[in-house]
Structure 1
Amino acid sequence: MDLLQLPSELLYLWHTYRTEVLLSAGILFAVVRLALHWRTRRSEQGLTRPALSSIEEKSLPALIQQPVELDQHTKLPSPRPPRPKIGPKRVTGTKRAKDISTAQELAIDSVQPLIFYYTLGGTTRVYAEHQASLLSSTSERILKPEVLDLAQIDYDDYFISPPKSPNANTALFYILLVPSYDIDTELSNFLAHLRETHHDFRIDTAPLAGLAGYAVFGVGDSREWRTEREGYCKDAIDVDKWMARLTGGRRGFPLGQGDTGSDGGVKKTLEEWTKGIKGMISGLAKGEGLGEGMKGSGEAIESEDEDGDDEAESGALVLENGRAENAESVRKPSKRSQTDDLEDLRAPIPVDFTTTRPSSKTIAPPPKAMVPVNSPTYNSLPKQGYTIVGSHSGVKICRWTKSALRGRGSCYKYSFYGIASHLCMEATPSLSCSNKCVFCWRHGTNPVGTTWRWTVDPPDLVFAGMKEGHYKKIKMMRGVPGVRAERFAEAMRIRHCALSLVGEPIFYPHINELLAMLHSERISSFLVCNAQHPDQLAALGPVTQLYVSIDASNKDSLRRIDRPLHRDFWERFLRCMDILREKRFTHRTVFRLTLVKGFNIEEEAEGYADLVARALPAFVEVKGVTYCGTSTAAGAGLSMGNVPFYEEVQAFVLSLEAALLRRGLEYGIAAEHAHSCCVLLADRGRFFKRAEGDEGGERKWHTLIDYAAFFRCLESGKAFGPEDYIGEPTPEWAAWGRGGFDPRDERVDRKGRPKAVEVVE
């Protein structure tokens, strides 16, 4: 056969017999696979002991009833572990609590007390310092107590794991002085931190078990809250509960409670409680431990209250048979006898095993009001001149409004931007803030929070309430001597709104809708934010002028002055600077620098210049802090010694201007208002120009706003920028060195006597 014909012959044979070939190959593969399987099974059976008869099984120990294999060393049969059963493992029995306290007892030769406190007005700090003096001892075993403000420390440094002791055999003892308030304060964040630490699966069950112990003292007012259920010392009770969990039950002394409404006061109760604490710490220093019989001592879990269901702890509502019940009522199961009728027993609540919590039966508690009606805070705000609008907004008349009505001058906004104070409404849609600034008018007594967790009033209710409250305040001025009739009539039509009263206006979820309502009635808007909410700042719509408070030039100073609640406050701050830079062509942007002597004036001009270079605002306002003169201001760390003189503000402005020029930034001093201790820097390239049509004329500052042009731009629906509504030149009397007082008004001293206006060239 020719070799060339061979491939065609093979192809012909393949097509003819391919079915038989494939079938034979499949059968051969199956036979080989089956043979290998049988061989493997026989080898496994050779290693196991043959089955015994039923009689032999009963006579042999249970140990050899399982399959066995030969031990390599003894050559004797050794027990072989049983094969695991297919299916989920059933867990039976009860959970045994770990004896954490006894497992981590240390050899103690000295104790370091740490006294933590929180305060709004400074009273609790006085109690903490007094307690520190009572605990001071001549004994070398008890070290000098340290007093720490919960608002100033980082919780991670103290309440996730104890800080390192100065000595290996020195144990730390925590004492917490906790007042109770009717508003959300920094204590709310502290309690949230304790709760989250307890529930964090990445952290040990009792991360603070290394402490020698802890004790909590609560301060409350029985005149406001008669019982614990109504709120008396409620925050202290919660702190004590969570500390019991985090320390493994190392409660060194029972919860103390001081009543500010009692005859003896808090001080006497605190001294008696501290006496017991001191004796207990002395015992710890001698190595006696927490002792037996003390509630919370020894065992990590001592009562059902401290071992309750997590959902019950959070106060969630549990729906049972279509009926809502408080979780407190279902926390402890009732004891039933074994003879109870099964029909009387309730069906078990379905459990979602992915979360180990009731799935469809649990609902979150409804949000509460930011400032509850009939609360002490709600009742005290009107005494300070506020009108509460809805559940979270407020309005108040500024002292400059009263001054303008009487012809005694307007504030800096008139000198800089042309806004007469008697036409201005000062309000806020959010009394809450995410900072606790040392110079705050409310000194931290307003609610605080990092996220909005309260009820939200609609913007139309807020807008109507603001106007109504403002007009009522204006009407109250008609009987004040010296009020000018023409200005009183003008004041009954609001022309401007400063959203800067207190709190954080941009925090309000419907801030853009509220601004639109203001603009619809041709009311211009100034909005002030604290550079801690970059997402809200980026989403902000049109506003006549946008302020950002710049109270420090570096991270450490910002922490000391603004005392922010956000842990990433500096990152948020810098992100807001970048957002402000992006908005400089769509908004009139302003840096607001509040100078606090001893905090942010000394050697910080260069740092402020770096921030200006990053954000490039249109204006920079530099203002000395205003001291309110109340006792609570001292509690916030502020006194008259922190208020700079106007000469010091002027010197700082000159140094800041020089620092900006060194960076190639053409900012100059555009105006001043000495009576507000305020100076304005502006961008020369944008606001220092000649009048339109006057090419050879003199350049002048144009910081005033053409409000009619602003509304025309807004109503046109087209994109516009700050240059589209620049007003007339800044008046001469507001220029640098002229003082900034309107010559049409009359300046008076505190007793109402005319006062000459000095012009300093």
Structure 2
Amino acid sequence: MTDTSVEPGFLAVWHTFRIPIIASLATLFLLGRFFTQQKRLKTPSSSSLPPSPRLEKPVSEKESIAIPSLDFKPTSQEKQKPSGPKRILGNRQFKGIDKQQQNDQLAKPSFIKPIIFFATLTISTQKRAQWLVEELRAAAQAKSKGSDKDYGLLPPELHDLSEVDFDDYFVSAPKSPPNSLHTRYVYCFLIPTYNIDTIIDTFLSHLDEIHNDFRIDTAPLSGLAGYSVFGFGDKEDWPTEEEGFCSQAKDLDRWMAKLTGKKRAFPLGLGDTKSDAEASLKEWATGLTEVLGEIAETGGLGEGVPGSGNSLESDEEESEDEEDEQRPKKSKKPQAVVDLEDINFGGSNKKARASPLPVDFTTQSSQSSNNQSTLKEMVPSTSPTYAALTKQGYTIVGSHSGVKICRWTKSALRGRGSCYKFSFYGIKSHLCMETTPSLSCSNKCVFCWRHGTNPVGTTWRWKVDPPEMIFKGVKEGHYKKIKMLKGVPGVRAERFAEAMRIRHCALSLVGEPIFYPHINEFVGMLHDEQISSFLVCNAQHPDQLATLNRVTQLYVSIDASNRESLRKIDRPLHRDFWERFQRCLDILREKRNEQRTVFRLTLVKGFNVEDEVKGYADLVEKGLPCFVEVKGVTYCGTSSSAGAGLTMKNVPFYEEVVAFVTSLNDELQKRGLKYGIGAEHAHSCCILLASERFNVDGKWHTRIDYDRFFELLHKEKTEGISFRPEDYMRETEEWALWGNGGFDPTDQRVRKKGKNRDRVVTEE
């Protein structure tokens, strides 16, 4: 018998207190869940983090830079070997990781070991490769004598491409052996070109496969210190590069640029086996040896090559080669460009204008020397002007001078033509330095290439740097910029070597050269080193122009034929600008029998082209220059130019420049002035009118005999014998004469992709 007396009592209690009991239990459960959640938020578990990237091989130094680190400890599950198929990983760099960090790890002094590869069928290339080995071995021994430095040049290795396994050398860069010196490698190639199947074709195909293999980094040889290629060809069978001369060497140079990340240590060299192969190879080897020494000492290829800077400049010509430096995307945001006359003075501009510190241009007064300690710098290194000019590619020398590489320099180095000065006067662009001892100017021309960033002023009120310092600084800056171009695709080794000797100087970069108080001393230094001088002034400083010593050729910018046009185009700061302009023309007339004088006319449609032929003829009649250069304006698309009313509509076509020149020539003929159209350079939209003084026996002699000029200049200094412009003239080349286009036939004309071909101007 079961006792059921307890059950009714329990049920009674349950029914009486069930609601508070259930509520209490629910409250306790919720509180427990709440505290547990709070604890998890305060101490998150490792399982909430993203999984660690796994590698199938040890991480190298370069890869450790490219892979972003994750600061956490992996769980025991993550330490286990992943299941499933293996994943093949390349060394592609993650987006957002700066390649400069990788290059900085390599850019340090080290021992450089050249590895020379060659291919041959007739043993001739092998003999030349062995000669190169001996040259580099001798250079290594010479540099290592008595040296205990932790960098230098090591003896080279020699390999026949037909005997090596390509994967051993071209899938990844060789590394320093364990427990050895810090060694980096430079690949050198001696490659002939054949019209039959050879090992070279197999080698090039292998490089193609490596580059396009998705499992391998697109630049697997970026660990190399650099590379260089020399090609042999036969111009009897293939007269030009377009027809196949050294085509396989050029292909190899392009593939190596892709595989190394554009680490071209020295320009591609080419030699004709029937004529100049030995001489060209020696010249290339000399330059290569110098570069190897620089890499060993500095650890890099120099500015402008990946890992050492950027060679891109604001007005540098665009390249058609796919391996050229990619130009940065233009920002749509307007740039704040500073263009202040008194930017370098503290306080307000009004205060600066109220108390200028003028300097006598023609003499050196004691007062000016005493004020040097209190004068400000024209372009301080901390100023917005300095930042703007350096961003455009200028090298600032001292406090008021600058040097810059012209885009024609790069063009000439690549065999794509020189500027109009070569057609007219025989100046090869890669031998010319463009500089100025004064970045300041007294005009703000609407067509100025310098975007209005250079300082302006009417008097010299800044600190004056000595001419010796400027001369040394601009030469160093120019050579440094030339070296930046050694890795540019298409640069010819022989022209690169020639460019390391300045032969001409164009004082027309920016600003006003004769604004500099010691311009005569600076020009004298140029002449002492057999460097010709081409000085351009803006016809606003007659006193300085009158005291200017002899230069090789003296230019005056003639941008308008009347006062109103000149005011709109040049926007001069001087109130008496027209009177100053007229005085400069008078001075040029006086100098015309002592030195070559030139009027430079820049045609701006809508400003100075229409109905101004007679006005320009008046100016020519007044100044009687030796030459008149007529050139269409180059539009840069700057906001400052647009604000002045200048657009692409103001750029004349070449046909319009031709029409203007012929009309001007006819007007001069009507007035009995003996001028004629001497030469042209259609590529620059430029035509030259010349005085009949330079027409001898029916042939134009607009070019300059530079050796003769320096010979006569020396006699003038030592014996006091004066000379005339006719005494150092040379005959103009046939291809540069009027009607022949003016493009050097030894160079290759390259037209932009996707652009219309140049218009052909025919004479009726």
Q: Structure 1 length as normaliser, TM-score? A: 0.52
Q: Does 1:721 align with 2:720?
A: no
- The equivalences for 1:601-616 within 5 A come to 601-616=609-624
Q: CA 1:507–1:449 in 2, change beyond 3 Å: closer, same or farther?
A: same
- Counterpart of 1:527 (choices 532, 535, 539) is 535
Q: CA 1:592–1:230 in 2, change beyond 3 Å: closer, same or farther?
A: closer
Displacement of 1:753 in angstroms is 10
Q: Which amino acid aligns with 1:679?
A: I
Displacement of 1:639 in angstroms is 1.0
Q: Does 1:468 align with 2:476?
A: yes
Give the conservation status (yes or no) of the 8 Å contact 2:404–2:509.
Answer: yes
What is the distance in 1 between the residues matched to 2:463 and 2:336?
A: 21
User: What's 2:341 paired with?
Assistant: 185
Q: Which amino acid aligns with 1:596?
A: V
Misfit runs of 4+, over 4 Å: 179-184, 313-316, 362-365, 752-759
What is the distance in 1 between the residues matched to 2:356 and 2:436?
A: 32
Cα offsets for 1:27-73 (capped at 9, x unmatched): xxxxxxxxxxxxxxxxxxxxxxxxxxxxxxxxxxxxxxxxxxxxxxx
Q: Which amino acid aligns with 1:521?
A: E
Displacement of 1:631 in angstroms is 2.9
Give the conservation status (yes or no) of the 8 Å contact 1:184–1:370.
Answer: no
Q: Which amino acid aligns with 1:547?
A: Y
Q: Does 1:701 align with 2:703?
A: no
Displacement of 1:732 in angstroms is 1.4
Q: Does 1:664 align with 2:672?
A: yes
Give the conservation status (yes or no) of the 8 Å contact 1:588–1:722.
Answer: yes
Q: CA 1:382–1:741 in 2, change beyond 3 Å: closer, same or farther?
A: same
Q: Which amino acid aligns with 1:678?
A: C
What is the distance in 1 between the residues matched to 2:761 and 2:736?
A: 11
- The equivalences for 1:422-437 within 5 A come to 422-437=430-445
Give the conservation status (yes or no) of the 8 Å contact 1:609–1:659.
Answer: yes
Q: CA 1:598–1:363 in 2, change beyond 3 Å: closer, same or farther?
A: closer
User: What's 2:487 paired with?
Assistant: 479
Displacement of 1:756 in angstroms is 8.7
Q: Does 1:456 align with 2:436?
A: no
- 3-state SS of 1:548 partner: strand
- 3-state SS of 1:427 partner: strand
Displacement of 1:632 in angstroms is 3.1
What is the distance in 1 between the residues matched to 2:610 and 2:530?
A: 42
User: What's 1:625 paired with?
Assistant: 633
Displacement of 1:750 in angstroms is 2.0
- Counterpart of 2:416 (choices 408, 416, 425) is 408
User: What's 2:735 paired with?
Assistant: 733
User: What's 1:30 paired with?
Assistant: none
Give the conservation status (yes or no) of the 8 Å contact 2:342–2:349.
Answer: no
- 3-state SS of 2:621 partner: helix
Give the conservation status (yes or no) of the 8 Å contact 2:736–2:743.
Answer: yes
User: What's 1:712 paired with?
Assistant: 711
Q: CA 1:315–1:445 in 2, change beyond 3 Å: closer, same or farther?
A: closer
- Counterpart of 1:689 (choices 683, 696, 699) is 696
- 3-state SS of 2:535 partner: strand
Give the conservation status (yes or no) of the 8 Å contact 2:703–2:729.
Answer: yes
Give the conservation status (yes or no) of the 8 Å contact 1:427–1:501.
Answer: yes
What is the distance in 2 between the residues matched to 1:378 and 1:634?
A: 23
Cα offsets for 1:156-190 (capped at 9, x unmatched): xxxxxxxxxxxxxxxxxxxxxxx9997751799xx
- Counterpart of 2:429 (choices 413, 421, 429) is 421
Displacement of 1:230 in angstroms is 7.4
Report the RMSD for the aligned CA atoms in angstroms.
Answer: 2.7
What is the distance in 1 between the residues matched to 2:339 and 2:639?
A: 20
Runs (5+) with no aligned partner, structure 1: 1-178, 189-228, 243-312, 317-361, 691-698
What is the distance in 1 between the residues matched to 2:584 and 2:446?
A: 21
Q: CA 1:467–1:660 in 2, change beyond 3 Å: closer, same or farther?
A: same
Q: Which amino acid aligns with 1:653?
A: V
- 3-state SS of 1:626 partner: coil
- 3-state SS of 2:421 partner: helix
- 3-state SS of 1:374 partner: coil
What is the distance in 2 between the residues matched to 1:437 and 1:629?
A: 14
Displacement of 1:629 in angstroms is 2.2
User: What's 2:747 paired with?
Assistant: 745
Give the conservation status (yes or no) of the 8 Å contact 1:391–1:457.
Answer: yes
Rg comparison, structure with higher value: 1
Give the conservation status (yes or no) of the 8 Å contact 2:420–2:684.
Answer: yes
Cα offsets for 1:355-378 (capped at 9, x unmatched): xxxxxxx99981100001111111
Q: CA 1:579–1:456 in 2, change beyond 3 Å: closer, same or farther?
A: same
Q: How many residues align?
A: 413
What is the distance in 1 between the residues matched to 2:600 and 2:560?
A: 10
Give the conservation status (yes or no) of the 8 Å contact 1:747–1:756.
Answer: no
- Counterpart of 2:560 (choices 552, 565, 574) is 552
Give the conservation status (yes or no) of the 8 Å contact 1:443–1:636.
Answer: no
Displacement of 1:443 in angstroms is 3.1
Q: CA 1:754–1:435 in 2, change beyond 3 Å: closer, same or farther?
A: closer
- Counterpart of 2:589 (choices 562, 581, 585) is 581
Cα offsets for 1:618-639 (capped at 9, x unmatched): 0000000011123332123311
- The equivalences for 1:353-368 within 5 A come to 366-368=374-376
Cα offsets for 1:90-121 (capped at 9, x unmatched): xxxxxxxxxxxxxxxxxxxxxxxxxxxxxxxx
Q: CA 1:181–1:514 in 2, change beyond 3 Å: closer, same or farther?
A: same
Give the conservation status (yes or no) of the 8 Å contact 1:405–1:422.
Answer: yes
User: What's 1:635 paired with?
Assistant: 643
